[in-house]
Amino acid sequence: MPTSIAEGKDWSLERFARHLPDTVTDVGPGEGTYAKLFRPLHRGVWWTGIEIHKPYVAKYKLRSTKARTMYDELHIEDARESEDHLFHRDLVIFGDVLEHMTRDEAIALLRKAEAAGCWHILVSLPIVEAPQGEVDGNAHEAHVHHWDADDMDDVLAQMGGRTESTRGDTLGVWWWSRRG
């Protein structure tokens, strides 16, 4: 769904506060959960959103206006086909999005972000069986792969760097950082 449960958000906010990235790409922002959560903490951030479902842009007011800033730059496209430079950021967020593609596609997308030079990656996804089909006419909301938390640990470990994680009752959340 274009929304997310609160589990793991405080933990994510603590890591964001520790690193204070100046550039962020939010893949599949939906209603803009992370922009709403993180922006008040560090207002100098340039936010890029990559949203596959165009109706969400208007529904959730994702475009910036003079009165309100959500995303400074918004791309309506499939992140798997996005230009590499959109992932050359201090932080790339995959918040409740990787379960909407095959495991191989999700791993390729994570590696794409790492190869593009991002410094940090935030991943949040269900770690319990959570079947979901199309939502509000958006076929991209269907859950395609059920992730096991240990599997995501392994995937991120293979990328090198340093990974912190937390596991809740429903969601697992990971913060991967490049060594350097």
What number is the average pLDDT over the span 141-165? 90
Closest CA to 86 of 43, 139, 48, 42: 48
Give residue 3's pLDDT: 52
Q: pTM (2 decimals)?
A: 0.91
Predicted confidence band at 10 (pLDDT cuts at 50, 70, 90)? very high
The stretches of the chain forming alpha helices (DSSP H) are 9-19, 33-38, 55-59, 103-116, 149-158
The fraction of the chain above a pLDDT of 90, given in percent, is: 67
DSSP-assigned letter for residue 15: H
User: Domains in the chain, start-ordered, CATH in brackets?
Assistant: 9-177 (3.40.50.150)
pLDDT tens for residues 32-86?
A: 899 999 999 998 899 999 998 788 787 877 886 655 678 899 999 999 999 999 9
Q: What angle do CA 20, 82, 42 make, to 5 degrees?
A: 15
The fraction of the chain above a pLDDT of 70, given in percent, is: 87
What number is the average pLDDT over the span 89-112? 96
Give residue 140's pLDDT: 59
